[in-house]
Amino acid sequence: MPASRRVAILGGIRIPFCRNNTAYFGIGNLGLSTIVLGGLVEKFQLQGQVLGEVAMGAVLKHSSDFNLAREATLSSGLSPHTPGLTLQRACGTGLDSLITVANKIAVGQIEVGAGGGSDTTSDVPIAVNKKLRHRLLELNRARTFGERVKAVLKGFSFGEFKPEFPGVAEPRTGKSMGESCEDMAKTWQISREDQDRLAYESHQKAAAAYARGFYADLVMPLRGLDKDNILRPDTSLEKLATLKPAFDKRSGKGTLTAGNSTNLSDGASVALLSSEQWAHDNNREIQAYLLDAQVAAVDFVAGEGLLMAPAWAVAQLLKRNNLSLQDFDFYEIHEAFAAQVLCTLKAWESEEFCTTKLGMDGALGAIDRSKLNVVGSSLALGHPFAATGARIVATAAKLLKEKGQGRVLISICTAGGMGVAAIVER
């Protein structure tokens, strides 16, 4: 994209997102992906049909999930002739999956496809200790009894049985995403009060959207849940203000808390894309179009801010499409942390940042905050890493369907100092 054919968004579906170790405990990524893809098949009556591609992924996945998308496809009700592509770009996985499918549609390689992702932090891949792993590999290559005994016993200690859990720190900085975002909040002087207010508004908007039925056809019930169990419509600014800092606990200046940061959560989502001709031939309603997308990366090791890459991605996307930041009816900015959203908004308003970092003639400017995440976002709904992208795309398409016309800007930050942005229009 941009390309010769427009890419239609026909809609999407997800399961309720929930806190880890609650409703979905015991369901792995394959189970979550299969369930949500089966829900898409049911919603759009795709039983036995061949799609050009199903692209899905997960961030925290077991080695046995290497063929996740294809295995989920085979159990979804789609034709077994439908190929599956498994990919990963941290929190941008779901959106990148859809971009991959959209590009194939745009250039005429396929006519219809689905993209999305799943993640569970209730079933993380736990590895054996590095020393034990090396020992087992030595045992596997041993050819004689003596070599086997040596591989098993030489230098052995019971400490080797200590398992290794997935790391939460960036290997080049040693900092978690929360710690890095705390640094960003200090750099951009984002207050605790502003972060708590954005979190509070996310819960209120999401609760109101559920109450008016916005999510009725976007969320399929599972295990007794018909809405996200992270959602707290009864929270208040006073309650949020009582929470202690979660990442900077010693300096007395920490502002990120469990309330204004996303919870560890489980879930899955998927969306259906097609060419206009396929939609017409199959009598499918087109909700919106995926116009264009952009990925960017920053040198976070040098101090550019681990989660600031969406600022670059959006600037590049706007320039290519000859649009201003204000040319949108809605803004769907992923709320990994309230501070991340606020840092990005403040960067776009900064003439110095936009000229020195983004190479622009002036600031991108401010957005109308009443158009931001109008039906809630990740702070209220949850953030199963690879599931967020398709949730946002399906949300954007439905918002434009309701409005009848318009344009949505999507922005997602990811680990590794990357960001993904997209434009949806109707």
Active-site pick, 91, 181, 343, 354? 91
SS (H, E, C) the chain: CCCCCCEEEEEEEECCCEECCCCCCCCCHHHHHHHHHHHHHHHHCCCCCCCCEEEEECCCCCHHHCCHHHHHHHCCCCCCCCCEEECCECECHHHHHHHHHHHHHHCCCCCEEEEEEEECCCCCCCECCHHHHHHHHHHHHCCCHHHHHHHHHCCCCHHHHCCECCCCECCCCCCEHHHHHHHHHHHCCCCHHHHHHHHHHHHHHHHHHHHCCCCCCCECCECCECCCCCCCCCCCHHHHHCCCECCCCCCCCCCCECCCECCCEEEEEEEEEEEHHHHHHCCCCCCEEEEEEEEEECCHHHCCCCCCHHHHHHHHHHHHCCCCCCCCCEEEECCCEHHHHHHHHHHHHCHHHHHHCCCCCCCCCCCCHHHECCCCCHHHHCCCHHHHHHHHHHHHHHHHHHHCCCEEEEEEEECCCEEEEEEEEC
Residue 383 known to be catalytic: yes
91 is catalytic: yes
* Active-site annotation holder among 18, 181, 343, 413: 413
Catalytic residue among 181, 203, 354, 383: 383
∠ CA 310-315-316, rounded to 5°: 100
Active site residues: 91, 383, 413
